[in-house]
Amino acid sequence: MGIVNRVAPLGVALALTLFSVAPAVADLPVEQGLAMALSAERAAMRGVSGSLVTRVTAPQAEPASIRRYDSAFLMTMPQAADEQVQCLQEAIYHESRGEDVYGQFAVAEVILNRVDLSNYPGSVCGVVHENAHRRNACQFSYACNGRSRAMSEPRARRLAGAIAQIMMSGAPRELTDGATHFHTTGVRPRWARSFQRTGQFGSHLFYREPVRLSSN
């Protein structure tokens, strides 16, 4: 709720009281008129309920959309048991737990962007485990060649889980401009030369693959 909406009832009460004394104040000397106006204001405040004053003056919690990138806030979130959320959590953890919160959200965006495209599997688990059964053909390195997918660092696991849950709940993808790929600065994959770079977070570079036009 906006501050304007919260203050409105209090403002109306004050305005009505002051309006009622305005004609009389106009005919008085300045000092006497000011004293009369202040007296009317105090009278109006006495008529305002304590609960209204409390609602108006109480600090308001920040919207979740603002706190999305606050790691302290994220660490307080309950963990989800949904399979797709857990697959996204797993990918965030293994691919980007060394990055800050923004870098981890960026990796989540890439995975969800792929889910939306027809040339990738239509689920998060399908995307992150694509070709995992084929040697050196997986899409995400942690899923390659039978590597362990265990998430052994409790704090990083919890943070990745919170990010996954927020993104799976429909949070805006506002960091990577539709990126579908990423790599670390330590490698130079061939495909990066023909893809449009959309951003960098920490040691990860993000790219959007060219639009594929269907042939008739």
Instruction: Kindly report, residue by residue over 38-77, the tens digit of the pLDDT.
Output: 676 676 666 655 555 554 454 444 444 557 899 999 999 9
Q: What is the CATH number assigned to the segment(s) 66-208?
A: 1.10.10.2520
Instruction: Annotate 103-133 with three-state secondary structure.
Output: HHHHHHHHHHHHHCCCCCCCCHHHHHCCCCC
At 143, is the secondary structure helix, strand, or coil? helix
Question: Given the DSSP bridges, would you call strands 181-184 and 196-201 parallel, antiparallel or unpaired?
Answer: unpaired
When the pLDDT of each residue in the chain is averaged and rounded to a whole number, the result is 79
Q: What is residue 165's predicted lDDT score, i.e. its pLDDT?
A: 95
**Each residue of 134-181: pLDDT tens digit?**
776 678 878 776 677 789 999 999 999 999 999 999 999 999 999 999
pTM of the predicted model, to two decimals?
0.68
User: Mean pLDDT throughout 14-37?
Assistant: 56
Q: Which residue has the higher pLDDT, 7 or 148?
A: 148
Q: What is residue 137's predicted lDDT score, i.e. its pLDDT?
A: 63
Cross-strand partners of 205: 183, 200
Domain with CATH 1.10.10.2520 in the chain: 66-208
Contact 3, 59 (CB under 8 A): no
Rounded to 5 degrees, what angle do the CA atoms 89, 92, 96 make? Answer: 155
Number of other CB atoms surrounding residue 212 within 10 Å: 9
**Each residue of 120-132: pLDDT tens digit?**
999 999 999 997 7
Which residues of the chain form beta strands (DSSP E)?
181-184, 196-201, 204-208
User: Mean pLDDT throughout 91-112?
Assistant: 96
User: Mean pLDDT throughout 180-191?
Assistant: 94
Rounded to 5 degrees, what angle do the CA atoms 156, 160, 161 make? Answer: 115
Q: How many residues does the chain have?
A: 216
Element (H, E) at 19: helix 3-26
Number of other CB atoms surrounding residue 127 within 10 Å: 23
Report the candidate in 96, 113, 68 with the shortest Cα–Cα distance to residue 157. 96
